[in-house]
Chain A
Amino acid sequence: MSRDEINSLFLTYKENKDPKIKNEIVGAFMDLVYSLSRRFANRGEPLDDLVQVASIGLLKAIDRFDPERGVQFTTYAVPTIVGELRRYFRDRASTIRVPRGLRERSYMLNIAIQKFSQEYGRTPTVREIAAEVGISEEEAIEGLESNEAATVASLDMTTDEGNLSLLDMVGGEDHTLSLLDERLSLAGAMSTLDTREQNLLYLRFIEGLSQTEIADRLEISQMHVSRLLRRTLHSLRNNLTTSSREPFIS
């Protein structure tokens, strides 16, 4: 379909909201829907599901698009569809359904913490970070804690930075965490963690770095460090608890 034909369809749809016209427009852009869905197909979700989500994005874009603005529909539709796909992954990642406004606030806080730490060389207080973002302290606390709702998200999920998972970003340096194992006589419990998790524990509990310092060193956010640490301690605790219940075999 030519650009003029599509424009004409939109003008007609804007006037009478005829569902048949809408279907025609949808049909004309399904290739776009598939193309955008395939970009996200490496994140463990079935392509069919992604196409459904992207189609919802397309429908929203069609309803909101104003053909009289002189902008091409695809210019408007692509960010709308991609936004819908991104929100889908964020919703799937949380075991607790966090309202969108709260997630966005958490995201803004994330950025503000990083910026503050880089500028002032220290970790901010809640009051300082609330002032940076322009929200109340209560809203900031809520935003910080909603970050924990994503704690059980798959840390193998790829990040927006590319194909790296959150754990990949911690790195795999082989520190002497056996030191910790020996010191606490945990009988190899540390070895049940992967190298990246061990690295994180090493930085926090042997080198004694704060979460903000670890975030700075690993070039990830403090909130990511908090989530990773929580999950790593959870794993270690579970491993220790499970092994302590195993019967002694002589």
Chain B
Amino acid sequence: MDKRDMEVVCIVVPPVEQMNRVVHLATTAVASRTGLNIDQADDINTALDELFRLSISQPDNKQCFSVRYDIHNNRLEVLAERLQASIGDGSSKVSRYRRFIIEKVADRFEERTNPDGGFDVLLVKFISNNLE
């Protein structure tokens, strides 16, 4: 099947430890479809790991969050929606660590408040130009 200008894949993730692997598999598959290489796919997984850990670390949190993958010709946009906690503003060690890692592995990253509650985090990874 030819890649269209944009394709969208969504998954809804319960905040359960074992679901991390489901997110990994989906991310690697989508990254492959986008044309990202193995390192880049792993970078997105590293960032999503941090967001996943953030979500499951909230006490008594049973709220699912969703991960939406927008596949463009030159990039992959990954939107983690309705996370039950913010990455943080950098005032704590953990939030500084988390922001640092995500900034390093994503080409662009942005956090915003979801109007229906919780937080959304957008990660962008561009396809590198080293393919012949």
Contacts and interface: CB of A to CB of B under 8 A. Distances in A.
Interface of A: 113, 122-127, 129, 137-138, 140-142, 144-145, 148, 180, 184-187, 189, 204-205, 208, 210-212, 222, 226, 229-230, 233, 236-237, 240-241, 243-244
Contact of B29 (A141, A189, A226): A141
Contacts of B15: none
B93 A236 contact: no
A187 B93 contact: yes
B101 to A, nearest CB: 7
Contacts of A145: 21, 24-25, 28
B112 interface: no
Contacts, number: 85
B-side binding surface: helix, strand, loop or mixed? helix
Top 9 A-B pairs ranked by shortest CB distance? Answer: A126-B32, A123-B37, A210-B39, A123-B39, A184-B96, A240-B94, A125-B37, A141-B28, A211-B39
B111 interface: no
Contacts of A244: 92-94
Nearest to A190: B97
Given A237-B94, A244-B94, A222 B25 contact: no
Interface string B2-28: 000000000000000000010011001
Contacts of B37: 122-125
Interface residues of B, number: 30
Given A240-B93, A244-B94, A127 B32 contact: yes
A129 B32 CA distance: 11
A189 B102 CA distance: 18
Nearest to A187: B93
A162 B73 CA distance: 46
Interface in B75-132: 92-94, 96-97, 100-101, 104, 130-131
B38 interface: yes
Contact of B38 (A125, A148, A208, A243): A125
